[in-house]
Amino acid sequence: MLTALDIGTSKVAVIVGDVVGDDIEILSVGSCLSKGMKKGVVINIEEMVDSIRRAVEEAELMAECKVSSVYVGVAGSHIQSLNCHGAAPIRDGEVSRADIGNAIETAQAIQIAGDQQVLHILPRDFTIDGEQGIKDPIGMSGYRLEATVHLITGGAHPIQNIAKCVRRCGLEVASFVLEPIASSLAVLTPDERELGVCLVDIGGGTTDIAVFTRGAVVHTAVIPIAGDHVTNDIAVTLRTPTKSAEEIKLKYGFALKRHADESETVEVPGLSAEKPATRIRRQMLAEIIEPRYEELFSLVRRELERHHFEDVVVSGIVLTGGSAKLEGVAELAEGVFQMPVRIGRPAAVEGFPSISRDPVHATGLGLLRYAADMGSAGGAEQRHAGRVKNTWLKAKAWLQENF
């Protein structure tokens, strides 16, 4: 039994599943309004613990099981990443797992800030005696093995605070997983990862980016603008409670004002009982929403250009996450990026058809896929992505998933 814990700014979701052959069967789902988390950082431990506990209890009740450990998604502006290079001799003339582990270990032997800890060491490719672009070097002959890896770190204190909340609920953290890495396992196709794609996971507090090419991650980043900013814009402009603004956004929101129905109106509750409800045109609502999404996509495009990845994402942009569901979002994004854009919906899973194909569950379902891959690679016993003794397990799992 595997359990995913998706802690977002807007919601906490727990998905319990089991591996059945090559598929994952969903046993239960629990969710709760997220309190105590903002932009990937815990701001109130007691509220966060209560939110996690409620979601876990709902999932346990539904599945009639007891959750003991969870795979936890993390995001936030404290996330950093870089590409590293390392090399090691091929000891017996033929590449072994130990040789790969040694090359990856030298690649990660760089100085990182004292307030950061390693989350992922993801192999990009390998080189043997100058021959580049090798995906799986096991069994190949040579003298020198070089590895290029994508190293992802997170703020030690933000991660420790999340771990503290999880432990307060009587649970153990099986592994922390960067949310866009998890989401990518649920919504991207092998061809997209091979040709080049940018995943844009739009949550409540942050928008997470992951760029893939030749089957591997080459860049990750976090944009501090997401769905809650849109909700706040609606609440402030229309002078309505935040809860009402969120409901209006989800039910009537449109990201392109030119396509909004001019004749359709939306009721907007007042800030208090003394303030009567008003009605506005749906087109006016779209006029509030469109600039914020346009700003978000412009920041993502600027991030790609700054790191020279705009020509790498050959297959285009994939949008996922709860805030990618708004009507007109994909079309607006195509206008900003000037490349193909699609909404990333998780593949159908057994058990709970209601959560299949829903971008809001991309991270949770991806966490389960990540957990299943770790188990198949013998990684069930690992407890921290940064431990050197588990380097090969993570490398093998990543190779199996992508190649």
Residue 33 lies in a domain: no
* Residue 333 sits in the same domain as residue 211: yes
Dig out the tokens for 56 from the structure: 């876990």
3-state SS of 293-332?
A: HHHHHHHHHHHHHHCCCCCCCCCCEEEECHHHCCECHHHH
For residue range 288-305, what is the model confidence (pLDDT) as tens digits? 999 999 999 999 999 999
Q: Give the pLDDT confidence score for residue 152 in this predicted structure.
A: 95
* Residue 136 sits in the same domain as residue 215: no
* Residue 264 sits in the same domain as residue 139: no
* Residue 278 sits in the same domain as residue 331: yes
* Residue 270 sits in the same domain as residue 325: yes
Domain coverage including residue 334? 189-343
Inter-residue contact 331 to 170 (CB < 8 Å): no
* Residue 196 sits in the same domain as residue 132: no
Single pTM value for the model: 0.88
Rounded CA-CA distance 193/191 in Å is 5
Residue 291 lies in a domain: yes
At 386, the pLDDT band (50, 70, 90 cuts) reads: very low
Maximal C-alpha separation, the chain: 81
In the chain, how many domains are there?
2
Which helix (H) or strand (E) segment holds residue 268: the answer is: strand 265-268
Residue 364 lies in a domain: no
Picking from 228, 224, 292, the residue whose alpha carbon sits closest to that of residue 255 is 292
CATH number at residue 127: 3.30.1490
* Residue 271 sits in the same domain as residue 142: no
Backbone angles phi, psi at 261, to 5 degrees: -70, 115
Q: Bridge partners of 120?
A: 152
Residue 209 lies in a domain: yes
Average pLDDT, the chain: 90
Percentage, residues of the chain above pLDDT 90: 80
For residue range 143-188, what is the model confidence (pLDDT) as tens digits? 999 999 999 999 999 999 999 999 999 999 999 999 999 999 999 9
* Residue 193 sits in the same domain as residue 147: no
Residue 288 lies in a domain: yes
* Residue 391 sits in the same domain as residue 330: no
Strands (E), 8-45: 11-20, 23-33, 37-38, 41-42
Residue 48 lies in a domain: no
Rounded CA-CA distance 128/376 in Å is 27
Residue 293 lies in a domain: yes
DSSP helix/strand/coil, 356: coil
Q: Bridge partners of 259?
A: none
For residue range 206-263, what is the model confidence (pLDDT) as tens digits? 999 999 999 999 999 999 899 999 999 999 999 999 999 999 999 999 999 988 888 8
Tokens 């992505």 belong to which residue?
A: 385
Residue 320 has pLDDT above 70, yes or no: yes
Picking from 246, 256, 44, the residue whose alpha carbon sits closest to that of residue 164 is 44
* Residue 229 sits in the same domain as residue 281: yes
CATH number at residue 232: 3.30.420.40
For residue range 69-97, what is the model confidence (pLDDT) as tens digits? 999 999 998 999 999 999 999 999 999 99
Dig out the tokens for 216 from the structure: 């591997």
Residue 91 lies in a domain: yes
* Residue 302 sits in the same domain as residue 392: no
At 282, the pLDDT band (50, 70, 90 cuts) reads: very high
Q: What is the average pLDDT across 117-145? A: 94
* Residue 250 sits in the same domain as residue 326: yes
